[in-house]
Chain A
Amino acid sequence: MSQINRLSQGGRIDRSQPLSFSFNGQNYQGYAGDTLAAALLANGVDVVGRSFKYSRPRGIVAAGAEEPNAVLQIGSTEAAQIPNVRATQQALYAGLVASSVNGWPSVNTDLMGILGKVGGGMMPPGFYYKTFMYPQNLWLTYEKYIRKAAGLGRAPKENDPDSYDYMNQHCDVLVVGGGAAGLAAALAAGRSGARVILADEQEEFGGSLLSTRETLDGKPASDWAAKAIAELEKMTEVTLLPRATVNGYHDHNFLTIHQRLTDHLGEVAPMGQVRQRMHRVRAKRVVLATGAHERPLVYANNDVPGNMLADAVSTYVRRYGVAPGRQLVLSTTNDYAYRVVLDWLDAGQQVVAVADARSNPRGAWVEEARKRGVRILTGSAVVEARGSKRVNAARICAIDLKNHTVASPGEVLDCDLIVSSGGYSPVVHLASHLGGKPTWQEDILAFVPGEGLQKRLCAGAVNGIFALGASLADGFEAGATAAAEAGFKQVAGSLPKVEKRHEEPAVALFQVPHDKSTARAPKQFVDLQNDVTAAGIELATREGFESVEHVKRYTALGFGTDQGKLGNINGLAIAARSLGISIPEMGTTMFRPNYTPVTFGALAGRNCGPLFEAKRYTAMQAWHLQNGAEFEDVGQWKRPWYFPKAGEDLHAAVARECLAVRNAVGILDASTLGKIDIQGPDAREFLNRVYTNAWTKLDVGKARYGLMCKEDGMVFDDGVTACLADNHFLMTTTTGGAARVLEWLEIYHQTEWPELKVYFTSVTDHWATMTLSGPNSRKLLAEVTDIDLDKDAFPFMTWKEGKVGGVPARVFRISFTGELSYEVNIQADYALAVWEKIIAAGKKHGLTPYGTETMHVLRAEKGFIIVGQDTDGSVTPDDLGMGWCVGRSKPFSWIGWRGMNREDCLKENRKQLVGLKPVDPNKVLPEGAQLVFDPKQSIPMTMVGHVTSSYMSSALNYSLAMALVKGGLKRIGERVFAPLVDGSVIEAEIVSPVFYDPKGDRQNV
């Protein structure tokens, strides 16, 4: 198909570089420099999709980010699918494959379109709430079809082949928008020597300068833009970011920019290149030069393809060499829109008429149009478009602005393009992301950015300054001021000369009156993306939705990816008129990031796949991998979970590992436990204050188990701390609690007890720890150490220094399994060599490596708690039956003591930790199972606690569990029941949690 709407000359496209692409399965051709929208219009594609609710045919309306209809799905393969791409923002590349998202079954013959014609009453605003909620069981059926019909695009089902990343930027001045004001601001700031970032969402910098018919210094405005960009490119401290949308303005001048680095080159990035980049910018000052969006007029059938924005048509003609029609009718409220008339005539097309709502417009452009023979109907507007899949006529009537009525029967003029302009809405989104309320400016009939606490300046059209010369000057001044505020010397500069011309003010017109009432007139669309009509907004106000936020939610005005770019102000105006209040009294809704959709790839950056999260490994990781370990995540750590042999599952491997420790010897990598070096004369006193038990009498060479509580008396960490010397201790914490405990010690030292002379330093990574546990551990260790392991020379709960495997080591005789155990600590650089020596020496002693699962079973057999599994922040030491670990007569009121003596903590019927022995020894209680005393009670049953840990014990040959049970310590010997989701019930006896070797003989041998 040929490009029927392509002009023979003009535009910034390269006619020597044709590019083929497809849309909805049809092949077309465009040129390098086209956007997808420009190329579609060039090929005469009128219908690009079906509307969200009524399934009406829709065409391209705008030329930029504000496009509501041409939101397409892109991608030729499953992996390359991207939803929500605005055709107006997507550069054309060879082989681009695009399709509509709202056409089910197809955009041109749409079964659902019937709904749009007859279904106005069927789908009023709030239709989700009203229609589909009852009967409730049918909602799933409705939902399936509505979602399919609504078709908001779809995510790819295959992995994205591209890579995305972040760039952390810092600058003195960030300029948002590379149009006239933005370029001027960047020049002013850049010349001062400041670090400047200029970001613009389009393919090229220049904004409206690239398509305007106005001149600068007597030459095309685009020449000045090119010169400005060339100057900026030469500045070493200036960073230019094209194809980069500033999407979010966050606290303290932190902004996020979504840059599409290769989206214009193809659907997959060239080899080795990053496809999209998220710039995370901290700017000392921000200049918002985000421009303004032209506001369409709201008239009947204004959604039929062929209804467009006036300046969008100028852009297509002048920038892309595309005339999207032949016979144009303009409906306007202002002077600026007359530019499209002149551009259209220059392109050799026919202007049928201009309907100007003003009674006697005499501006320079108006006169120029008049001089060129254009028919101008004053005091008039297009009240209705005719046509179904393409405009074929416009009905123009005289209107009475004051009474909002139609004043003449009007005339119907044949045409194929209706363009409208109701004025301009400054793009206040970014300025409002942090809550700065936009303020209404009556003289320009628009909201401009309100006061904001952020260090930002606004320049140009976003400030309501629409004239080119004034906008340039405003931008230059904002850039210079921003640089000066960031500490740079202001540099003077001259601005290009702009033609002077007479301009006249616009009149306020939003919804054009119709001879029928709004409810009875053909649909007058306000928000094309969400299918919100003027009648819908009136209905909402009649139903009592008076707050702007409520109107928005009831009608869906400004929802979705559109964020109300075209429709918001018209919607507010209609609601305000309907309620009899002014637009500023109505106010705007909240603006929130993101301004336009951002891909998940750009949000994720490099934090995906193997880099999804930070992972921590011990010095023995290579050995664990070689020996087939399965791993468990403990915080960021990867810990060996179990070491399966061929054919073993978790259960079998753990049973084997458990028996090996109980009967011979096992080795565990315990390096992940938190280790804190504590030095200073007050170290001992500090321990007395943060642990529940007493530390005054712990001799050098000994170690002790301690519990830590929060001020409320609840356990929050535990571990063994050793006295290395009078002023020197080594504290161990749980693996997950290491950082938390260090911050805990610091907060008390820094804020409460700075007078205590003590220093804390993390040595978690410095020491690698290997635990030898089991009856053969002494024999095994003796083979590789020079330390005297005699039970009297090296008793339980003491430590020694010596060599292990030829390497200096600290060995602690402590036990978490209840067996004879030694924890060998080695400077991590030398640990793997020592580990391997122990493994080699261990062969004849039956040494078996074991992981965290076996460790959990073994400690549960002994009734040792795991903080965070058997505790949950609501458990005191007494609740755990660990009253022996509470120093009730310590002189200083240590952390937790006062808290655990509150009335509630002293109640006898608190949940307490007990052991559970299922009556059926083969049944393992699920961890987390709720417990009841009376299994026959009807639902809701009285829950009395829950299972915290539960395992099958291979050493004891029965299942066992730990549980928190109300008053459990006094219920030893009684029964509890765990009713399970499948309806079955497991019965268990409440027992002491120490199942194995209750006297502790084995660890003391």
Chain B
Amino acid sequence: MTLERNILLAFLAGAALLPFAVSDQYILHLAIMALFYAVLASSLNLVVGYVGEFSLGHTAFLGTGAYTAALLSTQAGMPMWVTIPLAGLVSAVFGFAIGAITLRLQGPYFVIVTLSFAEVLRIVANNWIAVTNGPMGLAGVGQNLFGDVAVTDKAGFFLIVLGIAAVALYLSYRFVYSNAGRAAVAVRENRYVAQSIGVDPFGTAMQAFVLGAFLAGLAGGFYAHYISFVGPEVFRFAFMATMIIMVLLGGKGTLIGPLAGAVIVTVLEEYLREMQELRLTLFGLIVMAIVLFLPNGLMGFIAQRREQQAARPPLNAAKERTV
């Protein structure tokens, strides 16, 4: 717990120094995307890793946040410090409504029904031309932070997304180590035992789901301003697949895992870009290899190695303990 907290703090502190050390715009762009994905992956991890249900509809909240921020900015001309938190709140409201319906289901049914919600939203965004401008999307989302103060360079955007990531990690940390977080883990491990000691599975799952939706909405709001364009593709399954791969590669149910996964996948995708069409083909193969050979993700692998090393030197002592 303290180790996890210290690593997260060290990561954030190291990241805060990055824009002062690096002036290469391309590397800063990569760092921005890595942190954006880190927020998304952390928010998905709250549902997948702590509630233990596999949501394939997380893009619903990313997209809702992105459209909210884009609409507030283009229609009402609101600055970023208003639109991004509002994007989070609107997504949280959607999370509450969708969670109230979907969290009653479990297993493959939950998977399909969350996916259905994301698809419905994508089709609505594609066809409700009066509001969302259909497949043309909303272009020219403003980049002003307060009033007329505009963010003009990548370093500015980097600090904003770093702030969002810090908020996301802080909230996740507080949730995971609160009573609600521990109750959620109890439900994940054994639903009936948790119920028998008075944990309400639906209520705890709902808290994690709404928090996840809120954080995904913040990420979506940031994405709208950074790219300055939002189209129906924010709901697409490709985003979802990237998020899942990050969470599972890093290791679900840990706070560091999604962060590590986001950085690795962003860099890997960029590195493979040089190979053009082969890129996604290889990406698919890598995903399959991860599932087969690293089933608990990198964090699971590291934890396993540490356990093995801790068990090795006093071999006799370890044997006695297990007897």
**Do the two chains belong together in a single complex?**
no
